[in-house]
């Protein structure tokens, strides 16, 4: 159970994830921030507002997708999650993915990207599509990085526009028959 007292970061609240159980797209961030900790919901602070707005620019609603993080509790002072924290919460993310069975997993930032594709580099690989097991992984910049500069913001928004195309080509991409 995710309420297990042996899991790390017990001093902060559990931010499990939210969205549709039928979601075709599953967004995975790093770990909750202060606002997420207060409201027990993922991506509801400034980065979350950008994420929500960009999801809506595709004609989707936040409720149509699923949103969660690798680490389900806020690290103190928003420090990077430690590898043992990522490891401890791994089984929960794995099960969330298995239950939702999305077509596309969008990783937001390098921690969730490297969780699926160990050797990937964010500036080189963001916006590309990778087939990993039963899923298509599309790494993207973290929205917090997009808020820090217009170049990254433009790349973030451009990469989002590829999602409907990837969804449409899903069967071909999964069968390795992409033209």
Residues forming the site for ligand URA (CB under 6 A): 29-33, 36, 42-43, 45, 47-48, 69
| Residue 139, both tokens | 């790494």
CB within 8 Å of 62: residues ≥ 6 apart:
19, 52, 55, 56
The alpha carbon of residue 129 and the mean position of all alpha carbons in its chain are separated, in whole angstroms, by 14
**Shortest reach from residue 102's CB to ligand URA, in Å:** 17
**Shortest reach from residue 53's CB to ligand URA, in Å:** 15
CB within 8 Å of 170: residues ≥ 6 apart:
103, 104, 136
Q: In the bound complex, which residue of the shown chain has the CB atom lying closest to ligand URA? A: 29
DSSP labels for 92-131?
HHHHHHHHH--SEEEEESHHHHHHH-TT--HHHHTT--EE
**Shortest reach from residue 149's CB to ligand URA, in Å:** 17
Nearer to ligand URA, 31 or 88 (CB): 31
Nearer to ligand URA, 31 or 173 (CB): 31
**Shortest reach from residue 38's CB to ligand URA, in Å:** 12
CB 70 within 8 A of CB 93: yes
Nearer to ligand URA, 37 or 173 (CB): 37
Nearer to ligand URA, 30 or 85 (CB): 30
């Amino acid at each position: 159970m995710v309420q297990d007292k042996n899991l790390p970061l017990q001093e902060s609240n559990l931010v499990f994830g939210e969205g549709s159980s039928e979601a075709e797209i599953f967004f995975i961030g790093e770990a909750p921030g202060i606002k997420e900790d207060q409201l027990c919901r993922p991506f509801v602070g400034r980065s979350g507002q950008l994420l929500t707005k960009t999801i809506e620019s595709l004609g989707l609603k936040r409720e149509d997708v699923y949103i969660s993080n690798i680490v389900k509790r806020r690290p103190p002072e928003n420090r990077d999650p430690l590898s043992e924290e990522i490891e401890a919460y791994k089984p929960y993310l794995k099960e969330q993915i298995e239950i939702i069975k999305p077509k596309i997993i969008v990783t937001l930032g390098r921690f969730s990207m490297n969780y699926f594709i160990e050797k990937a580099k964010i500036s080189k690989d963001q916006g590309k599509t990778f087939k990993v097991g039963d899923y298509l992984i599309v790494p993207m910049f973290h929205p917090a990085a997009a808020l820090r500069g217009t170049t990254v913001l433009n790349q973030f928004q451009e990469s989002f526009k590829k999602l409907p195309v990837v969804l449409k080509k899903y069967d071909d991409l999964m069968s390795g028959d992409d033209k």
